[in-house]
Amino acid sequence: MIFNPEYEAMNEEVRRSLQFVRLKNLVEKLYADVPFYRKKMDELELKPRDIRSLGDISKLPFTIKDDLRETYPYGLLACPLAEIEEIHMSSGTTGVPVVDAYTRKDIEIWGESMARTLAGAGGTRNDTVQNCYGYGLFTGGIGVHYGAKTLGANIIPMSSGNTQRQLMVMQAFGSTILTCTPSYALFIAEEAAEAGIDLRKLPLNKGCFGAEPWSENMRREIEQRYGMNAYDIYGLTEIIGPGVAFECEAKDGLHINEDFFYPEIIDPLTGRTLPDGEKGELVFTTLTKEGTPLLRYRTRDITFLHRERCSCGRTTVRMNRLFGRTDDMLIIRGVNVFPNQIEQILIEIEGTDPHYLIIVTRGPTHLDEVELQVEVNQAFFSDETKNLEGLRTKIETVLKSKLMISVKVKLVEPKTIERSMGKSKRVLDMREI
């Protein structure tokens, strides 16, 4: 079901006009009310009247994470503090405090964006959402909460953790939609298996997972263990939280709520805008935000955009599942490696689970050394004829040939790598540079 066909299935020409009007209003407001943006535009000798078409957006300055640090906490506020109704914050992976301050209208738009997201997964007012994203400063819990309310669904505000209770609630209340990080979904599934609960027999039939990188293999595993459809959802605190983009039942890219969040892809090195289909850094301009609007915010997330017609009827642009981040790229002895490339390789090797930890150190010779801890799966582990040494060398050989780096693989028993109730940590970079 499309939650808001008027906007989600809008004629693309009409949508572009709407985006332009919204962009123009935003630029005028920022120039008038936010000294930070007025200064940036003055430096570029740019006035709001210079924005005459949507394409002129590329004349506008970027906003980067450091700008958020420098203006912390209220420097980017575009309205009186009295109009702010809620504040969220994320320390992010890089430790830069990221503040999102919402007016009442911002909260309404958040609810609408998340209602579209849940509806994208097939959710309706008849669903019961078991929401295990963390409640609090993190945007995941409360974002889903507002979305479920706007959709008219029943919401169980579990927050993350206390897995035994999650299982108890799931069974007792007949939850139909599960919302949490994909790694936590797998963790719950492991606990269920241990407790002898067959998740496939429960009413749960769809899940909205995001907030961290995951793969097609993790999707398959979640779908199979729960007997559900698993959908990828994307967002970030700076822009609104979850609700920026979501998969529909076609599972072919994430529809961006582009009447609210205008996306661009740029070359992270030159800042040049790239055409659809080309991979680069995702940039967003918040077209309707009142509290802390951002112009051309560089997300550091890497993806590409595509606009082919989607079978669901939505006409919004789609972004591919993320490839990684410009800042989680590891440089190992000069070779660029993304953690999810390692994950993709592990997926194809039978006997392993998608639970791994990459530990990078600098050895006595000052060269980078990588240890990859990989969990063998239960089936392989219980097999009496298992050949652990064979599996280990196989992983090392494939990694060497595909990524051109030497990795020391350490196989570990099932369930030894620390599980996370929120975002999981895949890399431990212990290099002191």
Q: Residue 361 CA to chain centroid, in angstroms?
A: 28
How far is the C-alpha of 54 from the C-alpha of 203, rounded, in Å?
Answer: 46
Under rule CB under 6 A, residue 248 binds ligand DLL: no
**Closer residue to ligand DLL (CB): 343 or 353:** 343
Contacts of 238 (CB under 8 A, 6+ apart): 68, 98, 100, 294, 297, 299
- Choice from 259, 301, 368, 369 touching ligand DLL (CB under 6 A): 301
**Closer residue to ligand DLL (CB): 99 or 399:** 99
How far is the C-alpha of 271 from the C-alpha of 224, rounded, in Å?
Answer: 41
Tokens in use for 359?
Answer: 């530990």
Q: Report CA torsion sign: 295, 300, 305, 310.
A: negative
- Choice from 67, 106, 127, 232 touching ligand DLL (CB under 6 A): 232
DSSP secondary structure code for residue 391 in this structure:
H
Under rule CB under 6 A, residue 299 binds ligand DLL: yes
DSSP H helix total and E strand total for the chain:
12, 21
Under rule CB under 6 A, residue 253 binds ligand DLL: no
**CA distances (Å), origin 148, targets 145, 202, 222, 369:** 5, 20, 22, 46
CB 113 within 8 A of CB 120: no
Under rule CB under 6 A, residue 292 binds ligand DLL: no
- Choice from 27, 79, 202, 236 touching ligand DLL (CB under 6 A): 236
Under rule CB under 6 A, residue 291 binds ligand DLL: no
How far is the C-alpha of 251 from the C-alpha of 18, rounded, in Å?
Answer: 27
**Closer residue to ligand DLL (CB): 15 or 145:** 145
Residue nearest to ligand DLL (CB): 210
- Choice from 210, 268, 291, 351 touching ligand DLL (CB under 6 A): 210
Under rule CB under 6 A, residue 207 binds ligand DLL: no
CB 230 within 8 A of CB 121: no
Q: In what order do the strands lie in the sheet with 254-256?
A: 154-156, 128-131, 177-180, 206-210, 229-236, 241-247, 254-256, 318-319, 305-306
Under rule CB under 6 A, residue 241 binds ligand DLL: yes
**Closer residue to ligand DLL (CB): 242 or 263:** 242
Q: Taking contact as CB under 6 A, which single stretch among the options 164-172, 216-224, 231-239, 255-263 is the one that binds ligand DLL?
A: 231-239
Q: How far is the CB of 187 from ligand DLL (least distance, A)?
A: 16
**Closer residue to ligand DLL (CB): 128 or 303:** 303
Could you tell me whether strands 206-210 and 177-180 are parallel, antiparallel, or unpaired per DSSP bridges?
parallel
- Choice from 120, 235, 268, 291 touching ligand DLL (CB under 6 A): 235
Under rule CB under 6 A, residue 322 binds ligand DLL: yes
Q: How far is the CB of 298 from ligand DLL (least distance, A)?
A: 10
Q: Residue 233 CA to chain centroid, in angstroms?
A: 6
Q: How far is the CB of 424 from ligand DLL (least distance, A)?
A: 11
Q: Taking contact as CB under 6 A, which single stretch among the options 161-169, 190-198, 234-242, 370-378 is the one that binds ligand DLL?
A: 234-242
Under rule CB under 6 A, residue 154 binds ligand DLL: no
Q: Taking contact as CB under 6 A, which single stretch among the options 152-160, 209-217, 257-265, 312-320 is the one that binds ligand DLL?
A: 209-217
Tokens in use for 24?
Answer: 């123009």
Interacting residue ranges for ligand DLL, rule: CB under 6 A: 90, 92, 133, 139-140, 210-213, 232-237, 241-242, 299, 301, 322, 325
